[in-house]
Amino acid sequence: MKIFLWKWLPVFDMVDDDTVGESGDEQGKSFVEVTMQCNVPQQSEENADGGQKGKAYKNIVSRGRTVMEAIRKMSLEESRPPFGQHTKIVLIGEKMARLMNLQGVLSLYLHTYEIRPSANILISKGIGRHLLEVTRNTDIPGIRLQRIYQNHYKTNGILPLFTIGQTASKMASDASFLLQAVKLEKGKVLFDGGAVIKGSSKRLIGFLTHEEVEGLNWLTGQAKGIVQVFDKEKRQNFAVEIKSIERTVTPYINGNKISFDVNIEGKVSLFETWHIPTDLLNEDHVKSLEKLVENEVNRLVHLTLHKMQKKYKVDVADFRDQFRISYPIQWLELKNKWDDHFRKAQINTKVNIRILDHGERGRTM
């Protein structure tokens, strides 16, 4: 006897595919397209038993002037209406995120008891609906998206899980923030960088690259996974795994000038090196490797800071919270235009990396 936990798996895909945000007539009608994904238990069981192959899921598409109208229309066509408490992922298409205020887009999810605030949010590069279709029949794309997202502890290129509840908190305080971005490339779903949401407009204004997300994770003290380093002098690669990280941010204000000192201390393990042979008990050699890791982390951090301050001019690394805690009175004067003040701030960074161990090998590798 097989038990299926997900008799219905709705994955929300709000996309603007020639409908959302486009003028339908002279009155400027706009429509929301919602794609709900549910699994097909009978088909899933047949696939698991090696029987007749078929899709283990189906996508239901509906349009409306609001998200709620689009979802309610599904009840006219399906015997099983969408059940919001099973929601794991809210997927928002790029065009909708750019044109529509996300607080309005998500207002249904923030005000109904059917949707749990623990559901995660992703932003699709391009049309989100396409990410809900895969070539492998046994895959349920919505579940697969969720499971890949949960791999953030294995790689520094994925942002920590971000929920509807956290998104609501950011938007309520007019804070800029970052959501995980995904895209479809050559038939594969890739987690690719971060979507920058501007606090004042609550709209998507651009993306951080994979490397810039790595830099952001270091800036926020949430770096996980590995650091890949290339030694230009010896023209060799090596990789270290992040074991722990401590990050402190100290804000300063002098008149109208704001600055921050960011101190990042990381402890890593050296598990792979192409320096053959490598004397891992030679203190000078280990220090040289630590310096190379520090340089790489510094490069990633400054890459991210440049994109935040010079291109998008927003704070998505929570510097605002550090300033608010340290200078509560001045914060009241600056909070309404914080992103504008942040882009002018001087940010000094210091990175210190310590290699703790070298795995289970002895003196050399």
With CA atoms as reference, report the closest residue to 262 among 252, 275, 248, 276.
Answer: 248
Cβ(90)–Cβ(82) under 8 Å?
no
**83: its two tokens:** 């059940």
With CA atoms as reference, report the closest residue to 12 among 125, 151, 142, 161.
Answer: 142
- What pLDDT score was predicted for residue 365? 44
Lowest mean pLDDT among 5-14, 152-161, 346-355: 5-14
Domain 222-357, architecture per CATH: 2-Layer Sandwich (3.30)
More confident of the two residues 207 and 112 = 207
**306: its two tokens:** 């440049």
Task: Provide the H-helix boundaries in 173-269.
Answer: 210-219
- What pLDDT score was predicted for residue 53? 59
- What pLDDT score was predicted for residue 13? 45
- What pLDDT score was predicted for residue 63? 84
Q: What is the pLDDT of residues 130-145, one digit of tens each?
A: 888 766 655 678 788 8
**110: its two tokens:** 């923030």
Residue 79 class from Cβ within 10 Å (0-12 exposed, 13-18 middle, 19+ buried)?
A: exposed
H or E stretch at 227: strand 226-231
Percent of the chain with pLDDT over 70: 82
**287: its two tokens:** 């220090």
In angstroms, the CA 180 to CA 158 distance is 7
Q: What is the pLDDT of residues 198-249, one digit of tens each?
A: 999 999 999 999 999 999 999 999 999 999 998 888 888 899 999 999 999 9
- What pLDDT score was predicted for residue 26? 36
Q: In what order do the strands lie in the sheet with 236-254?
A: 226-231, 236-254, 257-273, 346-357
More confident of the two residues 130 and 44 = 130
- What pLDDT score was predicted for residue 325? 97
Q: What is the pLDDT of residues 63-83, one digit of tens each?
A: 888 888 888 888 888 777 776
Across residues 270-277, what is the average pLDDT? 75
**251: its two tokens:** 């804000």
> What does the domain layout of the chain look like in residue ranges?
12-208, 222-357
Residue 109: which pLDDT band, with cuts at 50, 70 and 90?
A: confident
